[in-house]
A and B are shown apart, each in its own frame.
Chain A
Amino acid sequence: AQSVTQPDIHITVSEGASLELRCNYSYGATPYLFWYVQSPGQGLQLLLKYFSGDTLVQGIKGFEAEFKRSQSSFNLRKPSVHWSDAAEYFCAGTYSGAGSYQLTFGKGTKLSVIP
């Protein structure tokens, strides 16, 4: 079955430190992968997406993610975290070929930022 896994429930980093949030996927076909961010009381905002092509994708707010087929991963990174990045981050995916309408979400990783 298709799935998206975020192994880390909660991560705390210091402001200015680098960040990597992990996401693993399980899709038989070529996956389409997304990272969304949810700030407190807010909806889901798309940070970046991977459909095909360059495996390193750039997103908004200085985030990037790298698709690694060999590791079934799509980890989100940011070189220097700001206090405003504190939020919950969701990895989501779907896959080609089946015409599926739905996104499968991971359980989310809550990011706390220490001043």
Chain B
Amino acid sequence: EPEVTQTPSHQVTQMGQEVILRCVPISNHLYFYWYRQILGQKVEFLVSFYNNEISEKSEIFDDQFSVERPDGSNFTLKIRSTKLEDSAMYFCASSEALPGQVEAFFGQGTRLTVV
């Protein structure tokens, strides 16, 4: 069964460093997303990406964040200068169409720890 894969599973970084979280969405999907879950809190939407551009973003997704689809398969989330409060589980997801039409499939997540 096709699945969304994320690497690495766990990343530790020093405050102020740049990190790139990587995702390989399901191959025929057109919509890509990043969500995050701070420990003990709800899963929060960060950004969606369609047709090589950001289609929607939350207020969490500020100038420190960027997304890219550098080739036909990868989808990345970059945090330019990490802060302690960026420590969270980051989930990548993809879907064939808008979430109101079909379900989104989630990866296993990357746990980011900022020290």
**CB within 8 A of A103: which of B41, B50, B99?**
B99
Give the chain B neighbours of A107 by CB distance below 8 A: 41-42
Q: Which of A34, A102, A105 has the most CB of B within 10 A?
A: A102
Give A65 Cβ to nearest chain B Cβ, in Å: 14
Give min CB distance, B40 to chain A, whole Å. 9
Count residues of B near A (Cβ-Cβ below 8 Å): 28
Cβ B48 vs Cβ A102 within 8 A: yes
In Å, the complex CA distance between A36 and B106 comes to 10
Q: Is the CB of A101 within 8 A of B91?
A: no
If A100-B56, A101-B31, A107-B42 touch, whether A94 touches B105 (CB-CB below 8 Å) is: no
Determine if A112 is an interface residue (Cβ-Cβ < 8 Å). no
Given A102-B33, A104-B45, A94 and B99 contact (CB-CB distance below 8 Å):
yes
A49 nearest CB neighbor, chain B only: B103
Q: Mark A73-100, 1 if CB is under 8 A from B, else 0.
A: 0000000000000000010101110011
Chain A residues with a Cβ under 8 A of chain B: 32, 34, 36, 42-46, 49, 51, 90, 92, 94-96, 99-108
